A and B are shown apart, each in its own frame.
Chain A
């Protein structure tokens, strides 16, 4: 019994702090409404707590209990008749609101997803979805299909300075000459093809991706073509 009252007291305290669960609130309301005998304790406790809180916040403390009069007045009031149609319309309206909120949520989530890796649609491959940075930004150089070369540098010796090949293209331009073509495109292409094929066959053994590197090798135009 006392255990139960203790817990009821805790619930009342929680309700004061606005932390009571729905279950607790219902129980307190039930207890408070029952004014007979020992059950008054919850009601008393509630009043005491309210008083203490008023004192602490410096509000005027009154011992007038309005609750009886208010509940009597409520009892006297005619119950509003609820038109069944309106009631249904009301719930339909609520449903509509809920549905539109859900819709917004779904759209919103999709919007969010579109920006992130989480997007399942990312699996849908599109041509536009190519790293734009990988597009050819280099000088206009006729180049066989497959490659988009970005010639950064130059035909001069790089020397021992490791940074040179990362230097901006402006430096090359300063020479005031178009980039000389001292190499054959076919040669370069076949050299790169060769290297990519080599890489792919290594990768097939050394990566975890099974057959994937072979597929890449296929794509890279390794299939023999007369040059």
Chain B
């Protein structure tokens, strides 16, 4: 009897062992939602893909034909609007090895953001894998990206399992309501996307200008303006110096969300009112400021909550340490 009991125990142990061994050896490597989202940036830069996209907000729908072709380390993009007024954009993107601030942040590298604060994407958002779905005829993983504060919005992204490309992105407001949806309805990825007739002409003509790859997050030219408050985690990702019209801009990103600040002393901005507006998920907060007896229009644009945009706009001011000419 005892022998039988032990025999039973051994059988049980064998089953348990088999389950554990099987689990650890044969299970697929599980990638976290964070890994998927960071991998998605890489995929969107390094892969060639072409397809049809819908963009939707508040019951409005636009369809767009996009192509992103990588040849010899250079990126070519074409955007065709399939409805509404005819328009088409062909452009040279960044070289594939250009690492901008958002790429660095998504790569998990903390970037200096202002006063000794180090931003890390995982401090700003929670990443949860919420299962599988099918988008554009492909199998995708759905990841919920939930902000940890109320200064930014969350996302639901669907990431192609095979290539890591983002095939759907839904911007969610704080009431968990979708604000906009970007979604592929058909996509060709890799070699099958590469066969495009417009590419040779663009490559030879050098047609579209090449953007300057601004890799570090220090402004190339000192600005007389500084941001005294930004939501935690946002770092300067690019900036353009004052143009002849008197307009300069700075762009900030936390890795996912992006906002721009425009400071405009141009003639055309003088008569503008302080205004807040939104188009789809994009918010515009325009504030008038007076500095050195000049009127400035300080405009914050981005896919961020309106309260955040307004607060950022208010906190833009002249750099204090500069001597002020009277």
Task: List residues of A whose CB falls within 8 A of some B CB.
Answer: 1, 4, 115-120, 122-123, 125-127, 129-131, 133-134, 146-155, 157-160, 162-163, 165-166, 179, 182-184, 187-188, 191-192, 195-196, 198-199, 202-216, 218-221, 223-225
Contact = CB atoms under 8 A, between A and B. Distances in A.
A122 B156 contact: yes
B277 A149 contact: yes
A199 B177 contact: no
A226 to B, nearest CB: 10
Interface residues of B, number: 102
B62 A218 contact: yes
Given A117-B154, A148-B277, A157-B290, A123 B317 contact: no
Contacts of A154: 273-274
B233 interface: no
B100 A206 contact: yes
Given A208-B103, A209-B44, A210-B166, A166 B310 contact: yes
| Most B CB within 10 A of own CB, among A117, A182, A221, A224 | A117
A123 B166 contact: no
A28 to B, nearest CB: 14
Given A162-B317, A195-B262, A203-B260, A219 B273 contact: no
Contacts, number: 241
Given A207-B257, A209-B182, 4 more contacts: A158-B288, A210-B68, A210-B165, A219-B57
Given A130-B179, A206-B102, A209-B44, A218 B81 contact: yes
B119 interface: no
**What secondary structure prevails in chain B residues at the interface with A?**
strand
Contact of A198 (B81, B262, B274, B315): B262
A150 B283 CA distance: 11
A214 B87 CA distance: 12
A191 B268 CA distance: 8
| Most B CB within 10 A of own CB, among A213, A215, A216, A225 | A215
B66 interface: yes
Contact of B279 (A131, A147, A206): A147
B308 to A, nearest CB: 13
Contacts of B56: 125
A150 B55 contact: no
Contacts of A202: 238, 249, 251, 258, 260
B274 A152 contact: yes
A188 B271 CA distance: 9
Interface of B: 2, 5, 37, 40-41, 44-45, 53, 55-60, 62, 64, 66, 68, 77, 79, 81, 84-85, 87, 89, 93-94, 100-103, 106, 130-131, 133, 142, 144, 146, 154, 156, 165-166, 168-170, 172-173, 175-182, 211, 237-238, 249, 251, 253, 255-260, 262, 268-269, 271-284, 286-291, 295, 299, 301-303, 306, 310-311, 313-315, 317
A198 B142 CA distance: 31
A112 to B, nearest CB: 12
A187 B268 contact: yes
A21 to B, nearest CB: 13
B306 A116 contact: no
Given A195-B299, A209-B169, A223 B55 contact: no
A223 to B, nearest CB: 4
B282 A125 contact: no
A147 B170 CA distance: 21
A214 B66 contact: yes
Contact of A188 (B89, B251, B273): B273
A125 B178 contact: yes
B53 A215 contact: yes
Contact of B156 (A117, A127, A131, A146): A117
Contacts of A179: 273
B207 to A, nearest CB: 16
Contacts of B131: 120
21 contacts: A4-B5, A120-B130, A123-B170, A127-B59, A131-B173, A146-B279, A147-B279, A148-B278, A154-B273, A183-B271, A183-B272, A198-B262, A199-B258, A199-B301, A202-B260, A208-B256, A213-B258, A214-B89, A216-B55, A216-B280, A221-B279
A149 B142 CA distance: 34
A215 B280 CA distance: 11
A225 B85 CA distance: 8
Nearest to B313: A165
A64 B93 CA distance: 92
A204 B253 CA distance: 12
A154 B276 CA distance: 12
B166 A153 contact: no
B249 A198 contact: yes
B55 A117 contact: no
